[in-house]
């Protein structure tokens, strides 16, 4: 029995013409399940691993490839979540099928499942990286204690993943959500900047302003929203953060 037939993935939703999850026009596959509980999460409905909407890698890629005529200028396929690394083998096989067709593949992850002390897991991760054109990594907070408060998990393994991906030569985009009073202190941003500068394959750094567009989802799910009353950052605050993170110095810097 082939790897493809042995592997099943659990899909939450798809976006057929994504414009923000990697370069160009993207088909974005959102998978189920996430262990993190980020206080500002705008997709809490993806936390649950409901194990419905099962697809084989071939089914998932065939659905995406119907849109390949729109994938100009490095457009292609992005797999996000939830947390896609919780379904690592499925993602790896979808990406293998995509790369065989010359499709640009992007992994959008927070890195929480990264297990550098597990040799078997790392072998599977290496297989995934072999078929990955770009890793989009959310670095939510550089301070370990604050990261645990923010997400329910520490960040030592996440930072280790960033270093590992860079060592493997895979291009990286780094994203940071700017939340007033939570992830916006200048000292922390300078520390994050210093870390990013140790990663030689970073091609883009993005500051994503905190928003409340997903608040209704928390209410619909009956989950208390921990940041109730927190405002969105001003344009000036976003610009200051971009300057502290030297956003414009990266080759694929977002254009204002």
The model's pLDDT over 22-37, given as tens digits with 9 standing for 90+, comes to 999 999 999 999 999 9
Are 29 and 11 spatial neighbours (Cβ–Cβ below 8 Å)? yes
Domain segments of the chain as ranges: 3-249
Count Cβ atoms within 10 A of the Cβ of residue 132 and give its class: 0-12 exposed, 13-18 middle, 19 or more buried.
Answer: buried
pTM for this prediction:
0.95
Give me the pLDDT at residue 240, please: 98
Distance between CA 52 and CA 36 in Å, rounded? Answer: 21
- Kindly give the interhelix angle for 186-196 and 235-244, rounded to the nearest 10 degrees: 40
- Tell me the per-residue pLDDT of 137-166, one tens digit each, with 9 for 90 and over: 999 999 999 999 999 999 999 999 999 999
pLDDT per residue as tens digits for the range 34-91:
999 999 998 999 999 999 999 999 999 999 999 999 998 889 999 999 999 999 999 9
Higher pLDDT, 24 or 3: 24
Q: Does the pLDDT value for residue 2 go beyond 50?
A: no
DSSP codes of every residue in 73-84: TT-EEEEESS-G
Q: How confident is the model at residue 179 (pLDDT cuts 50, 70, 90)?
A: very high
- Whether the per-residue pLDDT at 134 is higher than 90: the answer is yes
pLDDT > 90 fraction of the chain, expressed in percent and rounded: 93
Domain 3-249: top CATH class: alpha beta
């Amino acid at each position: 029995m082939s790897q493809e037939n042995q592997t099943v993935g659990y899909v939450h939703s798809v976006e057929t013409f994504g414009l923000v999850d990697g370069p160009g026009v993207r088909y974005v596959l959102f998978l189920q399940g996430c262990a993190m509980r980020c206080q500002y999460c705008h997709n809490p409905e993806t936390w649950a691993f409901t194990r419905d909407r099962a697809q084989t890698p071939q089914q998932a890629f065939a659905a995406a490839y119907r849109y390949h005529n729109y994938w100009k200028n490095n457009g292609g396929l992005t797999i996000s979540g939830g947390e896609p690394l919780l379904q690592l083998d499925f993602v790896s096989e979808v990406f293998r099928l995509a790369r065989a067709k010359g499709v640009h593949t992007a992994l959008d992850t927070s890195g929480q499942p990264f297990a550098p002390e597990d040799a078997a897991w790392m072998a599977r991760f290496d297989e995934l990286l072999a078929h990955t054109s770009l890793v989009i990594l959310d670095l939510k907070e550089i301070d370990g204690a604050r990261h645990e408060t923010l997400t329910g998990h520490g960040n030592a393994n996440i930072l280790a993943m960033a270093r590992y991906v860079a060592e493997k030569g895979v291009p990286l985009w780094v994203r940071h959500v700017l939340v007033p009073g939570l992830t916006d202190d200048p000292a922390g941003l300078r520390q994050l900047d210093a870390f990013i500068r140790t990663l030689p394959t970073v091609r883009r750094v993005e500051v994503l302003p905190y928003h409340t567009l997903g608040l209704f989802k928390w209410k619909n799910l009956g989950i208390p929203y921990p940041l109730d009353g927190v405002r969105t950052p001003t344009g000036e605050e976003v610009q200051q953060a971009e300057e502290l993170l030297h956003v414009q110095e990266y080759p694929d810097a977002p254009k204002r």
